[in-house]
């Protein structure tokens, strides 16, 4: 196992659920991240789906004690470089391209590449990847599909993301090939808009308790 894989696993094993955040206003990033960390969710994926994303990553990386800031929805080399420059400690992509693999090879920051089919998983294994994001999890076949991959593709670990909630997270977390899940339900837009950080800490603590 490579040093980068070790580093990635050490981050993903911090908690059973990695929050997947879409941040519209960078000013909310720090209090939101602090609320999540207070509930036990230290590794935080901030998706590059908004103009505020890079500023949010930089703020969380610099200002939130205990947080491990990561960048999600990374689609190309330029975004990868920008996310690393902003302070991301891990990078997440919805799928995988050769361009992403090449830029990831040039950096110490680990990539969690996206895969949804057995062929994609096999291709990533050939590139040296043993830990992948399974996305979009529910739409691609859910926990039953992922379970069916565990024997023929033994040794590969996944972080399923997409359509996962408190209601079905355990279905995934009980699988031998799942290291954690990604979910947006721990930071609902309405609670962020209201600044209900205590409510978000409560949701984070519920999610953290799934490890038991």
pLDDT single digits (tens) 46-92: 999 999 999 999 999 999 999 999 999 999 999 999 999 999 999 99
Beta strands at 43-47 and 68-72: parallel, antiparallel or unpaired:
parallel
Range of the domain at 135: 3-211
- Per the structure, the count of domains in the chain is 1
Question: In 151-196, which residue ranges form alpha helices assigned H by DSSP?
Answer: 169-173, 189-194
How far, in Å, CA of 37 to CA of 40, rounded? Answer: 5
Residue 1: its pLDDT value, please? 66
> If DSSP codes are grouped into helix, strand and coil, which group holds residue 140?
coil
Q: What is the CATH number of the domain that holds 62?
A: 3.20.20.70
Is there a contact between 23 and 54 (Cβ–Cβ < 8 Å)?
Answer: no
Residue 211: its pLDDT value, please? 85
Residue 27: its pLDDT value, please? 97
Catalytic residue of the set 4, 42, 89, 133: 133
Known catalytic residue: 42?
A: no
Is there a contact between 35 and 64 (Cβ–Cβ < 8 Å)?
Answer: no
Q: Which helix (H) or strand (E) holds 11?
A: helix 3-12
Catalytic residue of the set 4, 42, 45, 89: 45
Known catalytic residue: 4?
A: no
Q: Give pLDDT < 70 ranges for the chain.
A: 1
Q: Which helix (H) or strand (E) holds 142?
A: helix 142-149
Q: Decide: pTM greater than 0.95.
A: yes
How far, in Å, CA of 101 to CA of 119, rounded? Answer: 16
């Amino acid at each position: 196992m490579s040093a980068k894989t070790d580093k990635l696993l050490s981050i993903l094993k911090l908690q059973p659920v990695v929050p997947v955040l879409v941040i519209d206003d960078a000013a909310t990033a720090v209090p939101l991240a602090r609320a999540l960390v207070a509930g036990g969710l230290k590794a935080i994926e901030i998706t590059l789906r908004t103009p505020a994303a890079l500023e949010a990553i930089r703020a969380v990386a610099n200002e939130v004690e205990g947080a491990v800031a990561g960048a999600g929805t990374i689609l190309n080399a330029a975004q990868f470089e920008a996310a690393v420059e902003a302070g991301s400690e891990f990078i997440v992509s919805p799928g995988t391209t050769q361009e992403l693999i090449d830029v990831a090879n040039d950096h110490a920051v680990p990539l969690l590449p996206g895969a949804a089919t057995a062929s994609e998983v096999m291709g990533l294994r050939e590139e040296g990847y043993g830990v992948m994001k399974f996305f979009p999890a529910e739409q691609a076949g859910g926990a039953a599909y992922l379970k069916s991959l565990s024997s023929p593709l033994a040794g590969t670990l996944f972080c399923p993301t997409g359509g996962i909630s408190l209601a079905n997270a355990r279905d995934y977390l009980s699988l031998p090939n799942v290291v954690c899940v990604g979910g947006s339900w721990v930071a609902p837009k309405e609670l962020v808009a209201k600044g209900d950080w205590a409510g978000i800490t409560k949701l984070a603590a519920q999610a953290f308790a799934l490890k038991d």
